[in-house]
Amino acid sequence: MSEDRQDKSRPESLLAGWLQATSEFWSSAMKSWPGMPENEQAHQAAAQWEPSLQMWQSLVSMMSEPGAMDGILKGVNALPEVGLKVANSTWNGFFFFQQQWLERMGELGERAEAYKFENAGEKMFDNWMEVYEKEFRQFLKIPQLGLARFYQERSAEALDRFNILQAAAAELSYLFYLPMEKSMRVMQDKLKEGMEKGEMSDNLKDYYQMWIKTLEGHYMTLFKSPEFSRSLNNTVDALEEFQKAKQAVVYDLLQNLPIPTNRDLDELSREIYLLKKKVRELDKKLNGSPS
């Protein structure tokens, strides 16, 4: 009994039952179709409907075959598996980051050394890029199929480059923020030292000048550091790549509109530039003086 119930509750059996009922309905509909009408037009309309009904009946009959249903349902079952895989990657990425954040929280109590920018944030952003490249990027690099494959590939490429740019820009922004953080810590130490020695200035402007000078020094140190150069290079490279990818997508969109693109205008500008140059040279040769 319970096996029967289980069998009946399985999706395949429900679908088969529905298809069977549908097939019987259309068969009886065909049989009870009124006889040929007397006028010509009605007869033609009925003749047009009949092949569609017959085709639908044969389709339903085919689908009610057990083997056909198995094939269809296997394909349908694959979709949740793909979704699960994507979700799995996302969860892995989040769990990895949660671990990183917890480790960083543990470092909060440590002193940040003044005027030192080695490994500043590098680890965190490198980890993110590692996760992105390992878990997420593969979905954007799936080869596209079909007539619109090139457009789809360019869109995926633009999205990929955008993500990389975001990561590089985030790292650069973080580096710009670091001198603020470090200068505040230096100020705290200086204030504490001043209080211990009893050498506190009455003028708030002195503290402001102290802070701005410390901040300036930190920025100068940062800008000369290899970490900053590396991050700046990465950001500029990422921006260039994203710009190229974005232009490719925009170019595809503008193809359908009566709007010339930068590429079109650049080609024209180059031709005009070369022509003007030629005209000047010829003018000088002819007249022996500038126009």
Partner 1 sequence: MSKQPKIPVDLILNKLAEGAEKAQDRALKARDVLLGPLDTQIAPTPYDIVYQDDRVKLKHYKPRKKRVETPLLMVYALINRETMLDLQAGRSVVRNLLDEGVEIYMVDWGYPTRKDRFQSIDDHVNVYMEDMVDFIRERNGVPKVNLMGICMGGVFSLIYSALHPEKVRNLITTVTPTHFDTDKGLLHIWAKQLDPDRLTDTFGNLSGDILNLVFLLLNPARLMIDKYVGFVENFIRMEKWIFDSPDVPGETFRQFIKDCYHKNLLIQSKMEVGGRRVDLGSVTMPLLNIYGRFDHLVPPEACDKLTRSVGSEDTEDICLDTGHIGIYVSGKCQKMLSPKIARWLMEREGTREKAEAVGEARSARTAVRSVEGKPAARSRRKKTKTSGSQA
**C-alpha to C-alpha distances, 194 to 191, 197, 216, nearest whole angstrom:** 5, 5, 21
Q: Is 272 in the site for partner 1 (CB under 8 A)?
A: yes
Q: What are phi and psi of 32, to 5 degrees?
A: -90, 10
- Residues 237/157, Cβ–Cβ less than 8 Å: no
The Cα–Cα gap between 36 and 44 comes to 10
- Which part of the chain contacts partner 1 (CB under 8 A), choosing from 80-88, 93-101, 129-137, 202-210? 202-210
- Which part of the chain contacts partner 1 (CB under 8 A), choosing from 20-28, 29-37, 107-115, 261-269? 261-269
Residues 51-80, one symbol each (x = binds partner 1 by CB under 8 A, - = not), give ------------------------------
Min dist. Cβ of residue 173 to partner 1 (A): 12
The Cα–Cα gap between 266 and 275 comes to 14
Structure token digits, residue 174: 């973080």
Answer for which of 40, 118, 199, 202 binds partner 1 (CB under 8 A) is 202
Q: How many of the chain's residues bind partner 1 (CB under 8 A)?
A: 36
Any idea what DSSP says for residue 134?
A: I
Positions 169 through 188 that interact with partner 1 (CB under 8 A): 176, 179
Min dist. Cβ of residue 189 to partner 1 (A): 13
Which lies closer to partner 1 via its Cβ, residue 256 or residue 289? 289
Separation of CA 17 from chain center: 43
Which lies closer to partner 1 via its Cβ, residue 20 or residue 261? 261
Specify the 3-state DSSP secondary structure of 214. Answer: helix
Structure token digits, residue 157: 């490429």
Q: Is 278 in the site for partner 1 (CB under 8 A)?
A: no
Min dist. Cβ of residue 163 to partner 1 (A): 18
The Cα–Cα gap between 188 and 181 comes to 11
* CA neighbor of 119 nearest in space, from 57, 171, 195, 63: 171
Q: Is 204 in the site for partner 1 (CB under 8 A)?
A: yes
Min dist. Cβ of residue 246 to partner 1 (A): 10
Min dist. Cβ of residue 150 to partner 1 (A): 21
Type of residue at 163: N
The Cα–Cα gap between 86 and 139 comes to 9
The Cα–Cα gap between 63 and 69 comes to 6
Q: Is 265 in the site for partner 1 (CB under 8 A)?
A: yes
**Which residues sit at the interface with partner 1, rule CB under 8 A?**
176, 179, 192, 195-196, 200, 202, 204, 208, 212, 215-216, 219-220, 223-224, 229, 232-233, 236-237, 240, 243-244, 262, 265-266, 269-270, 272-273, 277, 280, 289-291
